[in-house]
Structure 1
């Protein structure tokens, strides 16, 4: 009986060793792949951006149309808001670009590429989207610098190899 009591007491003592009663600290997941940060987009903030927007229409000949526009960029609650203004003002709109906490997503897309060439940062994202009511993959390419910004949207219908450029924004200041 003494042997059993001593053994059970030893097991209880061993079970308590190193256990402070506190939960183990959560491990931070390792970020793999290209990322973007608020500092990367901060160079776009402000006014004075002038340029043009080229888009491919959905009806008729589906030709590219280019119209002059301007852009302002502001940070708002952890995201960047791009305001595009056109001469007719009916087409004005805003694009919100939130950055995920781990930096792996910009807007709704997952960042697939990040390259830097001088002061130009190129970010490529991909996301599932609908284009002309067709399930597609949208690939956005952003070129970001203090005085130059472009955004291209290429669309590929699921199951298709043909990609079309749907939008191309070009701005300088």
Structure 2
């Protein structure tokens, strides 16, 4: 799985991220919100073209699982051929639940009910995270467009054993966390 968060309408950043789908052999794209719009508090990113982002992602509609970010709206859904407006979603991976959320409502301080060893994947903060907290996996791939906290633009990858945050420009791992199966 390839995890992409906080695209904020940048076709330039999205194209770089999608190259990793092929390079890493990822079968599914998990979009963690803030897909098309930059939002009123963010600068307009390089390559800002929400319609092009929607058209490019529509090419992968059959392998996308997405959740709604605080910058996503019903108008955005009109451009996308995949469901974009779920506040959260669940995946079952190796018999364990993985909760997906943008992070503006559910977040590490406000988790859904999770059993020991399950996981929570989120975006919103633009800060990468790959760690265990109270026996729950917390994973945030950072932002491919507007990274914060001095971190480079990044995305996430799960290879069946390890969740890794990768630098967008080089693919170099920034951090990782094993998820025992």
Normalising by structure 1, we get a TM-score of 0.30
Which entry has the higher C-alpha Rg, 1 or 2?
A: 1
Q: Tell me which of the two structures has the higher relative contact order, counting C-alpha pairs closer than 8 angstroms and 6 or more residues apart.
A: 2
The structure that is strand-richer by fraction is 1
Normalising by structure 2, we get a TM-score of 0.29
